Amino acid sequence: MNKKITKVISLMAVFGCVAIAFTSCGKHDANSPGVEFMPDMYRSPSLESNMAYVKIENGKETGDTMQANRMPVAGTIPRGFMPYAFPDSPEGNEAAKTGAKNPLQKNEKNLKDGEVLYGKFCVHCHGATGMGDGAVGLKLPGAPPAYTAPDKINMTEGELFQIITYGKGLMGPHAPLVNQEERWKLVLYVQKLQHPNGVAAPAAAADSTATAAAPKEEAKKK
Amino acid sequence: MDTLFKKSKKQIFAIFSFLFLSLILSTNTFAADGEKIFKQNCAVCHTLGKNKLTGPGLEGIMTRVPSEKWLFDWIKNNKAMIAAGDAYAVKVFNDNNKADMTVFASTLSDEEIQATIDYIKAPPAPTTPAGPVAQTSGEAAPQEEGINPLAVLLGVIAFLIIIIAVLRGVRHSLTNLQNEKMGLPEEEAVGPWTELKNWIYTHKRTTTVIILIITGGLLTSGWYALKGIGVYADPETKAVYHPDQPIQFSHKIHAGDNAINCQYCHSGVEKSKTAGIPSVNVCMNCHKGISSGATTGTKEIAKIYEAAGWDVEKGEYNKPQKPIKWIKVHNLQDFVFFSHQQHVTVGKQDCANCHGDVKEMTTVKQVSPLTMGWCIDCHRKTEVPGMKDNPYYESLHKRLAEKYKGEPITVDKMGGIDCVRCHY
């Protein structure tokens, strides 16, 4: 009888020890990514976007790190990219005013795309209707001016494009975020916000007859 | 007469007080107007402090400009003054990289310009934001310094071994003492291993059971340990990987409170394999103007300025740039291909489907395990909405619809769970 009890106790002790030993390793640390299988598949020695790498100068590792993202080699341009002719300078702004022309047609699809882009890239400062009342805009030291302000409402498409590309005042350059085609779509939508009853596309008719109106406009442009 | 005089006295008093009141009110309204005009027209480029935005900060402007009249003319039409060759005007123009200031001749009346100047001269005391007082450490609650259970276990085992050794010695000498008394021969000292061997020979069944239990325990825990490899979520506590970032950036404030679209910062998501961690210039699009936050004051935003090389006082990038070493939270292994573009543009997946409710997260957590099982589960359940309107897939879609009559065409039905779809 006595022996049996000791047996049971020793069994339980051994089992308990094993159980404790294997659960003790599961302590969680929010900063630790945990066990990784083949760590160089997670943190690749080859360059991946958005990762920091040790900077190498003259064949020697330096203490600095750098981003994997590289600037294009000087004098080259990416495929499918057209350089923009007007520089970020007072002269460039002046020249773009009349010189930069929107290559896109003002049709329903482009306006719709512009609206979607506007909701992603502009609305938080400029507000849904372009009055400069977005949540971030109100936190800025000066809210962005309304698109319909007297000195803004008659801006040419070239001026608008120049501002989206290079920024103005508190607004930063947005060329890295939206490509040229997208910027021209944004220009179309901003112009629609400025002139909801615009000469080219009356707002009331825009929804129902836009598809019908679009070919007409194309014809006009030709 | 007396009463009349009294009356007129009262009247005069009333008139005077009215005039006085209206004067106070009118100056007040002027000041208020000035503030409004300043905020609407000037604050986009000028601060009232000494920090430069696009234009110079306006602190101490009245001591800098030649006269108040000059400032008035400058606001009204600065271009005319520059063209006329006014010495100070040309100097200001050149000092500020020849950046145009808006001409207000047509938009502001003389009174409005004067009100603005009055406001610039005596601005109300700046209301200091709550600032660094309310510094929170976010969710990084101090970790409890618990004692490592493994150390406790090892300590207990060592303690038990010592006790066993001592007790064995005691028993041995006691037996010998008794044997001596009874005149029996001295018992031979038996080593612990020999004794253990003897015990095992006499208790074969118990030994087998113990060995089975130990093996079983090892196998199960080994199985769970294997399942935990590469999975950042703790299976028991459901705690997930959420590392501290070099800057206490809060998605709750940016994407939640300020309703900034995910794509504003992660703009590669529709065009590229990676959604992209924004470069500092995207931060600067807003933080050029916003230099103090609600929870951490200027401390965290100053780190952006340091990374961008932005000089707050001069308002220009004149320092060396230092990239921020963000820590990647959602990290897929190199042996699996994943493209954000595919999932967002054609699959029309919402960010939150995989990344959880980031709008409510102060520090980003990895809510999805990112395991193969998790990928395949979703591929078995999800249809591809972007395929329906895309003429490129038209014939394929028609064939699939014929093949799986009426059934929803999920990703796995078009080869979405083939090995080589992701591993190649």
Per residue in A37-59, pLDDT (tens digit) is 778 888 777 777 777 777 778 88
More confident residue, B76 or B340: B340
Of B78, B44, B41, B47, the C-alpha closest to B60 is B47
* A47–chain B nearest CA distance, Å: 11
* Mean pLDDT along residues A59-83: 80
Mean pLDDT score, B247-256:
92
**Interface contact flag, B230 A22, Cβ < 8 Å:** no
Question: Looking at per-residue confidence, does B49 or B370 come out higher?
Answer: B370
Total domains, chain A: 2
Nearest by CB to B281, which of A50, A90, A172? A172
CA nearest neighbour of B372 among B299, B321, B422: B422
Q: What is the pTM assigned to this prediction?
A: 0.69
User: Is A161 inside a domain boundary?
Assistant: yes
Residue A205 pLDDT > 50, yes or no?
no
Contact B139, B362 (CB under 8 A): yes
Which runs of E-coded beta strand occur in B258-402? 310-311, 316-317
Q: What local confidence, expressed as pLDDT, does residue A218 receive? A: 40
Answer yes or no: do A179 and A216 share one domain. Answer: yes
Q: Are residues A161 and A124 in the same domain?
A: yes
- Neighbouring C-alpha atoms within 13 Å toward the C-beta of B59: 9
Q: Which residue has the higher pLDDT, B18 or B92?
A: B92
Residue A19 lies in a domain: no
For residue A8, being part of any structural domain is answered with: no
Query: Residue B73: what pLDDT?
Result: 84
A33 within some domain? no
Bridge pairing between strands A60-67 and B310-311 = unpaired
For residue A145, the enclosing domain spans 92-221
Cβ contact B288:B298 at 8 Å:
no
3-state secondary structure A106-160: CCHHHHHHHHHHHHHHCHHHHCCCCCCCCCCHHHCCCCCCCCCCCCCCCCCHHHH
Query: Does residue A135 lie within any of the structural domains?
Result: yes
ipTM computed for the complex: 0.75
Q: CATH number of the domain that A208 lies in? A: 1.10.760.10
Mutate to test the interface with B, among A49, A70, A179, A183 (most CBs of B within 10 A): A49
Element (H, E) at A57: strand A52-57
The whole-angstrom distance between A90's CA and the closest CA on chain B is 7
Same domain, A64 and A98: no
pLDDT at B378: 93
Could you give the angle at which helices B192-202 and B204-227 cross, rounded to 10 degrees?
100
My answer on whether A110 and A146 are in the same domain is yes
User: Which residues have a Cβ under 8 Å from the Cβ of B415 and sit 6 or more positions away?
Assistant: B421
Mean pLDDT, residues A57-68 taken together: 76
- Same-domain check for residues A215 and A123: yes
- Which of B242, B259, B290 is facing A124, going by the closest CB pair? B259
Q: What is the pLDDT of residue B146?
A: 63
Q: How confident is the model at residue A4 (pLDDT cuts 50, 70, 90)?
A: low
CB contact under 8 A, B276 and A49: yes
CB pairs under 8 A between A and B: 189
- With respect to residue A75, please indicate whether it lies within any of the assigned structural domains: no
Alpha carbon of B63: minimum distance to chain A alpha carbons (Å): 24
Model pLDDT for residues A89-104, shown as the tens digit of each residue: 888 998 999 899 999 9
The pLDDT value recorded for residue B11 is 65
Please provide residue B356's backbone torsions phi and psi, each rounded to the nearest 5 degrees.
75, -170
Specify whether A216 is located in the same domain as A179: yes
Q: How does pLDDT run across B318-329, given as a tens digit for each residue?
A: 888 888 888 888
- For residue A118, what are the contacts with CB-CB under 8 A and spacing of at least 6? A186, A189, A190
Kindly state which CATH superfamily the domain B10-126 is placed in.
Answer: Cytochrome c-like domain (1.10.760.10)
Q: How confident is the model at residue A82 (pLDDT cuts 50, 70, 90)?
A: confident
Considering the domain boundaries, does residue A175 fall inside one?
yes
Look at residue A16 and tell me if it is in a domain.
no
Has residue A202 got a pLDDT over 80?
no
Q: Are residues A60 and A136 in the same domain?
A: no
Does one domain contain both A99 and A158?
A: yes
Taking an 8 Å cut-off on Cβ atoms, the answer to whether B259 and A93 are in contact is no
Q: How far is B101 from chain A (nearest CA, A)?
A: 10
Predicted confidence (pLDDT) at residue B130 exceeds the cutoff of 50: no
CATH 1.10.760.10 positions along chain B are: 10-126
Please tell me the predicted confidence (pLDDT) of residue A203: 37
Return the number of other C-beta atoms located less than 10 Å from residue B340's C-beta. Answer: 21
